[in-house]
Structure 1
Amino acid sequence: MARAETPLNTPISDITFTVFDTETTGFAVGRHDRLIEIGAVHVKGNRVLETETFHMHVNPERSIPPEITELTGISMETIEHAPNSLEAIEAYLHYNEKANSTIWVGHYVSFDLLVIKKELQRHQYRIDMPTTIDTLDLIGYISPSKHMLDLEIYASQFGTRIYNRHEALGDALTTAHLFCELLYHLENRGKRTFADLLAISDMSKRNIQF
C-alpha cells in the first residue's frame, strides 16, 4: 500500500479518518500473542459514518486464553472458520482504500499499530504504515490534568456514546464518537487543519519501538 500524503493545509472537516481497534490473545504481541479481531468506522466532517463499518474476527492459529474469552466474548469456536491475520488485514486495507482514507485514529493507537505490523511481519509482508492520530494526545492537549487511560472513563467525561467494551467494533465506535467531540473542542481553540492535528498528535514524539 503506497502511503498518500495529505496536504498540511487540508481542513480537518475534509479528511476521511479511519478509527480502528484490535483485540488480541494478550499484550505480548511482539512475541506470542496474536490478533483475533479488527473493527473500524470512518469519520468525516466531524461525523461518525456508522453505516460504513468494518468488522472481522481473525484466526490466531493458537489457543485463546480463558480470560480473553471472558473479556471479549471471543472463543475458539468464534474463530474456527475465521480468516488468518493477513487475509483480515488485507480486507481492512481494502476498506480504507475504498473510502480513500489514509489516516488512522485509535485510543492508545501505538498498540494497535504494533499488532498490525507484527502480524504482517509473520507473513513476511510489509506496508508503508499510515499517519496516525492518538485520542490520548488530543485529550492531553485539551485537558492536561487527565491521566487515566481507560476509554470508557474518557467517553463518560466528555459525554460521548459508549458501545460494547472490549469488542473491536464497539471500542472503535466509542473512540470515533470521542474523537468527534475532541475535534469539536479543538475547533473551538482554532485548530482546524491537518497540520494543527499533527502538531498535537505526533507519533515521532513517543519513544515506541515497532
Structure 2
Amino acid sequence: MFWKKKQFQVDLQDDIPLNTPIDDLTYIVLDTETTGLALQSGDRLIELAGVKIQSLNVQEEQTFHTYINPNRKIPEQIKQLTGITDHNVTGAPNSADAIKAFFQYVEDSHAVSLVGHYVSFDNLVFKKELQLEGYRFSPPTTLDTLELLSFLYPAKQIKDLEEYAIDFGTRIYDRHTALGDCMTTAYLFCELVYRLKEKGLGTWGDLLKAGEINKRI
C-alpha cells in the first residue's frame, strides 16, 4: 500500500493464474457503518470491520475492528440502529487513519480480494472519506455476495442480509454492527462459493466471472 501523488493504492495478491482453485485463496470480508446514507451531504464513517477467510474457513480470531471519529454528532436513529454512541467514537482514529490501518491488515493477510454485501456502498464510503484527505481511491478487486446470488439464482428476490442468511442456513451475528454484519456476510459468502463449486465452478477465474462487480463508484 502506498500513496503517490495522493493516489491511494492497495496491493492485493490478485495477479494469480485464473485456474487457481478457489479453496487455495484468502479473502477479506468487510463492512462499514455510517451516520447515514447521504454521503454527498455530510454523512460519515463511524465503524469499520474485516474478517479473514482462508481455505473457505472463516478465521474468527483474525478480525479487524475500529470505531472512527466522524467529527459530528451521530443521529439518534443511527445510535438506536447500530448501538454506536458519541462516546464510542470519542478518541477514535480519523477516517483516513482507520482506512489505512484496515488496508494494511488486508495486505498483511495476503488477500486476493475484498468481499462484502452490497460492497459498492463500502467502496463509496472509502472514496468519499479519502477524498476529504485529498486522496484518489480506486477500488481493488472486490466481490459482492449480491452479485454471486444474482449469478446463482437470477430470479431470486433481493432481500436483507439476515434473510439471505436464514434462507441458506448460515450463521447470523449482531445486525447493523460492522463486525457482526461482516461475520454474517463471511459465512454467507463461503456457502455461495460451495454452491458455485457444486456447479463445477471452482477456480479463481470462475469466481471472478460469477461475482466481480463493475466499478460503480
Matched, 1:3 2:6: no
Write out per-residue CA displacement over residues 72-102 of structure 1, whole angstroms, 9 at most, x where no aligned residue.
0011111011110011111101111111114
Displacement, 1:34?
0.5
| TM-score of the two chains, using structure 1 as the length reference | 0.94
Q: Alignment partner for residue 80 of structure 2, among 66, 70, 86? A: 70
Matched, 1:45 2:55: yes
Q: Secondary structure at the match of 1:43?
A: strand
Displacement, 1:167?
0.3
Q: Secondary structure at the match of 1:203?
A: coil
Q: Where do residues 61-210 of structure 1 align in structure 2 (5 Å cutoff)?
A: 61-204=71-214, 208=216, 210=217
Displacement, 1:147?
1.6
Measure, in 2, the Cα distance between the counterparts of 1:55 and 1:30. Answer: 25
Q: Alignment partner for residue 56 of structure 1, among 51, 66, 78? A: 66
Aligned partner letter, 1:6: D
What is the aligned residue count? 207
Aligned partner letter, 2:84: I
Q: Which consecutive segments of 4 or more residues in structure 1 shift more than 6 A? A: none
Measure, in 2, the Cα distance between the counterparts of 1:145 and 1:132. Answer: 23
Measure, in 2, the Cα distance between the counterparts of 1:105 and 1:130. Answer: 11
- Structure 2 residues not aligned, in runs of 5+: 2-9
Q: Where do residues 21-32 of structure 1 align in structure 2 (5 Å cutoff)?
A: 21-32=31-42
Residue range with higher mean Cα deviation, 178-187 or 2-11: 2-11
Measure, in 2, the Cα distance between the counterparts of 1:198 and 1:84. Answer: 33
